[in-house]
Chain A
Amino acid sequence: MSARTLPLLFLNLGGEMLYILDQRLRAQSIPGEKARKVMNDIITTMFNKKFMEELFKPQELYSKKALRTVYDRLAHASIMRLNQASMDKLYDLMTMAFKYQVLLCPRPKDILLVTFNHLDAIKDFVRDSPNILNQVDETFRQLIDMYSCLSAGEFQLIRQTLLIFFQDMHIRVSIFLKDKVQNSNGRFVLPISGPVPWGTEVPGLIRMFNCNGDEVKRVEFTNGGNYISPQREGSFDLYGDRVLKLGTNMYSVSRPVETHMSGASKSLASHTKENAAPNPLAKEELNFLARLMGGLEIKKPNGSEPGFRLNLFTTDEDEEYASLTRPDELSYKVINIQATQDQQQNEELARIMGEFEVTDQPRQSTSKGDDLLAMMDEL
């Protein structure tokens, strides 16, 4: 559908990832200097100029799996490492948080305010590094250039494209359950009270006109909800009050990152479907990944900067348990790319794929992985 969706999807999911990593770095008492380096490295990589150029080209969305691969790489752009269970949990949290924001944003256009909330927070993470700050501001301007001229209808198409991307994901997130914005079946709670979107009237009034256009009758009715008028519109400028709270950082020391991993049975079924379906698009997806990730630089830990492992769970035992008990259907089965032969045939691709080794140990190739390998051999 809308070919303008990918930048918003990528930046907002990336923003959620940074919120979670920031919170876990604190919770795991990673020294300040080290934590700052990790955040700076990831943000630098995320807003890489070449990468952003690829991202902003009009294109369709790709599968959840392909996108997950990009974040896998992004999360490992510094000296920090995440194992499979923590990475799964990180991606679940990111996607459910952004799904909630897309679903709840009052007008389709407000997805832009959600994005600006994420970028404002990212700028705060790198406030002491003017170079990175400039990089983020550059993307900010690109967003304003591309999106400020779009109509309400085009924003609705973007929103509908995102909702199709997130459809059938019902993973329960404890912070949402505690706040009572998610039901135990994984569906989000939709309020029927509070302010209506900017530009919308509070429901309840009928006005009738005669053939001359004069108002001849006014009737009120009860619509069932309990709405009020909105206060003001958020700012769509580089700086300003966004008014909307969706997309701001919901985690804090007193509100830690947690997930319930018991996906509803429905979500299990849909995941199974996605994994089982033969995917004729693998080649196109591979090209997408290669193009996109050509711009992502990965830093390998070296002697002077010892790496460390981040855990998305409270203890190592919890993490271990999660990796053992995660239903197979829920596994994203990250595309495990290993250029097996003839690396020189396509140097660029081979270089990218060669660098792309984020899994701790080689896992059994999925059928999808086999397809990718076969295709790469053909290159």
Chain B
Amino acid sequence: MYRKARSVPLKSSSSALYNNLSVLPLRDKPLTYFAAVHGSTVSLASAAADGLSVSHRQLQAKEGGPAVSASIVTQASWCVLPSRVLLVLTSQKGIQMYESDGSIMVYWHALDVLEPPPAQAVFARGIAAASGRFICVGTSSGLVLVFDVPSKGTNITLSEVLEEHHDSITDITSEVGENPNGAADLLTADDSGALCVWRAKEEFSLLTKISAFGWTCSSVKLWNGVIAAGYGNGQIRLYEATSGALRATVSAHARWIYALDLAPLTGKLLSGAEDSYVQIWKLSRNPDTGDIEIEHCHSECVTDTQLCGARFCDPEGNSFAATGYDLSEIVRYGQV
């Protein structure tokens, strides 16, 4: 059972964008950082566990070249590497990387802006840290840009471009499990619903490709060799990461799923959708057959709110937070 805890107020409301909440629990302080996108700005808030004493910071999308309208930020997410934590923003103009508290921008990568504007929108979207020293970011043309990040300093370089997707990247994630079985390190998803599973060694190589079935895959997670994917038809699908085999389908939500999250220590899965529900699930492997299993644990309705972001706030999944379109707060729930 989860019970509502004190909300964290935001300086501005959240936009309807996939995975529009990032949560970073600080290791050395009893504080949690939150980030959510509002149009061309990102609202950062740091809050103590009791939800009191909140401090705020606003970040702006960088404008590259002559702007016809304010560049919209598509996602903001913390990337936790062993050596450092960076806050990454993606927008219509490019990719911005900041120190974790948003104080200093350490890297800027501009996207090519075409004139006159093409019918196809141009933006970056989908952010994940991978294999110790990489940050991977997707683009609207289906590319996955791999940045090599040094343990300190600003000498970040574009080391590789992965070209397997034909549609806009929606989300990118890397293995979060403690005991990953298999070689899958990175998972990328696109607008058509296609998924690519990658292994990271010196270079990234394609392990398997899971084909689309007509619905956008808006959010993905990878846990101990299990893929969890959320789709526009409200379905969650579980796949074997190494083979791409379908292991479960869940009619989870009545409307478009906007966010999934996984608690690495317990295998709890969270899904948030436009139907105003957060659902909590539990993943496991049957010790006898090795089959992937999923059970439903909890339903939470955030009344009259189309959810756009939802995250666990701790590695066990004992608490979670969610954002909604037009809502100027982060709602929080804790286990009782």
Contact = CB atoms under 8 A, between A and B. Distances in A.
Interface in A195-215: 196-197, 199-211, 213
Given A167-B39, A200-B234, A216-B291, A206 B168 contact: no
Contacts of A253: none
Contacts of B304: 183, 187-190
B70 interface: yes
Contacts of B260: none
B296 A281 contact: no
A227 B254 contact: yes
Contacts of A221: 296
B251 A203 contact: yes
A211 B191 contact: no
Interface in B13-59: 13, 15-17, 38-39
Interface stretch (A55-63, A321-329, A346-354): A55-63
Given A167-B39, A213-B245, A280-B67, A153 B251 contact: no
B253 interface: yes
A379 interface: no
B232 A153 contact: yes
A206 B13 contact: no
B117 A160 contact: no
A209 B246 contact: yes
Given A164-B39, A190-B306, A219-B295, A199 B233 contact: yes
Contacts of A163: 15-16, 325
Interface residues of A, number: 65
A81 to B, nearest CB: 32
B96 to A, nearest CB: 17
B199 to A, nearest CB: 20
B117 A3 contact: yes
Contact of A151 (B191, B294, B300, B303): B191
Given A152-B232, A167-B39, A203 B292 contact: no
A203 B291 contact: no
Given A167-B15, A211-B291, A222 B248 contact: no
Contacts of A204: 251
A61 B39 CA distance: 13
Nearest to B289: A210
Contact of B276 (A192, A196, A208, A281): A192
A256 interface: no
Given A211-B240, A223-B279, A225-B275, A200 B299 contact: no
Nearest to B16: A163
A189 B304 CA distance: 5
Nearest to B167: A153
Contacts of A58: 116-119
A187 B70 CA distance: 26
B121 A108 contact: no
A148 to B, nearest CB: 14
Contacts of B276: 190, 192
Q: Which of B13, B192, B250 has the most CB of A within 10 A?
A: B250
B292 to A, nearest CB: 7
Contact of B119 (A3, A205, A280): A3
A259 interface: no
A156 B68 contact: no
Most B Cβ at <10 Å: residue of A61, A170, A204: A204
Contact of A223 (B215, B243, B252, B295): B252
A2 interface: yes
Contact of A213 (B69, B118, B246): B246
B299 A266 contact: no
A157 B216 CA distance: 11
A206 B237 CA distance: 10
A85 to B, nearest CB: 27
A371 interface: no
Contacts of A63: 69
A190 B305 contact: yes
Interface in B219-270: 232-235, 240, 243, 245-256
Contacts of A60: 68-69, 117
B215 A152 contact: yes
A103 interface: yes
A167 B300 CA distance: 24
B277 interface: yes
B214 interface: yes
A196 B294 contact: no
A76 interface: no
A280 B121 CA distance: 22
B139 interface: no
A211 B305 CA distance: 38
A33 to B, nearest CB: 43
Contact of B167 (A151, A208, A223): A151
6 contacts: A167-B15, A202-B254, A203-B254, A205-B250, A210-B291, A217-B293
Interface of B: 12-13, 15-17, 38-39, 67-70, 72, 74, 92, 116-121, 123, 167-168, 170, 190-192, 214-216, 232-235, 240, 243, 245-256, 275-277, 279, 289-296, 299-301, 303-306, 325-326, 328
User: What are the nearest 6 A-B pairs in CB distance?
Assistant: A153-B191, A221-B296, A224-B299, A201-B251, A153-B216, A58-B119
Given A103-B325, A208-B291, A281-B67, 6 more contacts: A160-B15, A197-B254, A200-B233, A203-B234, A208-B294, A209-B246
